[in-house]
Structure 1
């Protein structure tokens, strides 16, 4: 006998049978009336729950009604009215899609990329930002708001010396690598990007990343991202990459160092990537412009991934197998690959490094379940930490951790 609270708060003593192995819970009609429980309409007519243990039991699940029972054969006594829209969405989530539908905007972005992208003398790519021409004139002033946000950032940095030092090191690296430069003249079409720091505890290199906000609204209510095409989703399916990767006897992982920042932005478009910065308050606030593809812009992922695909296409004759891996085994900047023999694994690894180097990309943080695949690499190219594979979206984080010695996977 157990005490049960009714809908109106009254206490009743009812008899309960507890079965820890049961997958359903049932209640008699009389008990439901005593407790004054609210009914909820279901899409089905149910028979089969009764005093005889041999009869089948109907259970409502997120996939619809299912029947279970110990008899070998029986007549189905459930009239099912499934919500096919919910079922279709489930299978779409679980499906490994090999083809992605292209919209007219996607097709335009690909054509625009093909027409405007070029390789420079050192092999690196230079791209144009895919600005929507019809909306360009709607971009308002952003300078005043960005300056106010920068002054607010400085006040926060004054209260956290450690964060301020990390921030300064990050920005100094930008300047040392010529990824940003002073901008003296104003342009009619320009945009100022507010920025702030994000701490990444899982990172084995730079703990702090400065994020530039291309979604900040200008005086007209439009942001830089509002007047920019996103481009098609060119990412490979994560499940497909992992399933393929797990087949290899010799496996390894790596990632591309500062992938976005290895791609130059056309000089005229750099005016859309202006920021405020100064090393110390003893100096006046200066205007800089970012010269490379910038994290936080809507088209950044499309531009970076498409540069990899273009590089693979152009280097296919020289590195056929490595080019195929660039096409199929990269999830943005993360690589998962391998081979069935040690010799082939070494050759593929060497070809991948050379292919990507020809486009200005450095493949690093190598991990493997075979020490010989790391023996010929420089120490700074190897990663001593547990590999973490992340897919960031606006609503979720999908992580995968790999222990290369045991070749075991775990979700985090």
Structure 2
């Protein structure tokens, strides 16, 4: 964190974007400040920023080792529940009309049980880099945790199962079979059918607080 602080002090724009990402996580309830001592074990995760053209995405390093062990070493990766990339792409070539969409911050849409959040602690400043570091913890699953893809894909499939009866078979099929991680690719023979499918897929996902954007 001292090394990160030096970089933030040196690059004001980087610091502004990094801080904006952390603040957004706090405001949306993805991260929460630790105000009481933990009754059990804890784990602290270092983090770093990945620079994009117009923003910084903060990534938690769950592979960082302490005495030869990382958080990812202790997490269950579970079953590979992702759809085949080849299968998704083949279906995407099934009609002349198509759309793509992206689940907005997919891993952050699935909450971690409260009794497990102390394994997702991290340090950050509350208001200013000149203050003492404060302890925070994530309330949602992380980019970088080996368990996150399986868990979030399970939630997506369960959403199709729980609410699919309220929609058409094509909509249920799309949610269950046309996503690769957080990307949806769907093709249809008819433009009107494609638009109906898009609207229904968005509504079905919204039933569980999952929102699709970047539609093209």
What TM-score range do you get, normalising by the shorter chain?
over 0.9
Please name the residue that 1:195 is paired with: 47
Alignment-derived partner of residue 100 in structure 2:
253
Q: Secondary structure at the match of 2:2?
A: helix
Cα distance in 2 between the residues matched to 1:181 and 1:247: 45
> Which of 165, 170, 187 is equivalent to 1:338?
187
Structure 1: how far apart are the matches of 2:174 and 2:158?
13
The CA deviation at 1:282 is 3.4
Is 2:19 the counterpart of 1:168? yes
* SS of residue in 1 equivalent to 2:166: coil
Counterpart pick for 1:303 among 143, 151, 157:
151
Aligned equivalents of 1:233 and 1:198: distance in 2? Answer: 26
RMSD: 1.3
**CA distance in 1 between partners of 2:37 and 2:142 (Å):** 20
Question: Matches of 1:198 and 1:342 in 2, distance apart?
Answer: 38
Partner residue in 1 for 2:166: 318
CA–CA distance in 2 between the matches of 1:235 and 1:303?
A: 10
Which residue number in structure 2 is paired with residue 284 of structure 1?
A: 132
How many correspondences in the alignment?
213
Q: Separation in 1 of the partners of 2:152 and 2:100?
A: 19
Counterpart mapping for 1:1-400 below 5 A: 150-187=1-38, 188-201=40-53, 207-218=55-66, 220-278=67-125, 279-319=127-167, 320-367=169-216
Question: d(CA) in 2 for partners of 1:295 and 1:186?
Answer: 26
Q: SS in structure 2 opposite 1:316?
A: helix
TM-score (norm 1): 0.50
Deviations 1:129-180 (A, max 9, x none): xxxxxxxxxxxxxxxxxxxxx1111111111111111101111101111111
Q: Which runs of 5+ in 2 are unaligned?
A: none
Counterparts of 1:273 and 1:230 in 2: how far apart (Å)? 16
Q: Distance in 1 between matches of 2:9 and 2:65?
A: 26
Q: What secondary structure does 1:337 align onto?
A: strand
- The structural deviation recorded for 1:194 is 0.2
Deviations 1:39-73 (A, max 9, x none): xxxxxxxxxxxxxxxxxxxxxxxxxxxxxxxxxxx
Question: Higher helix fraction: Structure 1 or Structure 2?
Answer: 2
Paired residue secondary structure (2:81): coil
Deviations 1:242-261 (CA, angstroms, capped at 9, x unpaired): 12111212111110111111
The two structures have a TM-score, normalised by structure 2, of 0.94
Distance 2:37 2:65 in 1: 19
Cα distance in 2 between the residues matched to 1:242 and 1:227:
33
- The structural deviation recorded for 1:211 is 0.5
Task: Give the aligned partner of residue 64 of structure 1.
Answer: none
Residue aligned with 1:355, SS: helix
TM-superposed CA distance for 1:200, in Å, is: 3.0
Q: State how far apart, in whole Å, the 2-side matches of 1:349 and 1:287 are.
A: 41
The alpha-carbon deviation at position 294 of structure 1 amounts to 0.8
Give the aligned partner of residue 387 of structure 1.
Answer: none
Q: Once the 2 structures are TM-superposed, how far is the Cα of residue 207 of structure 1 from its aligned partner?
A: 3.0
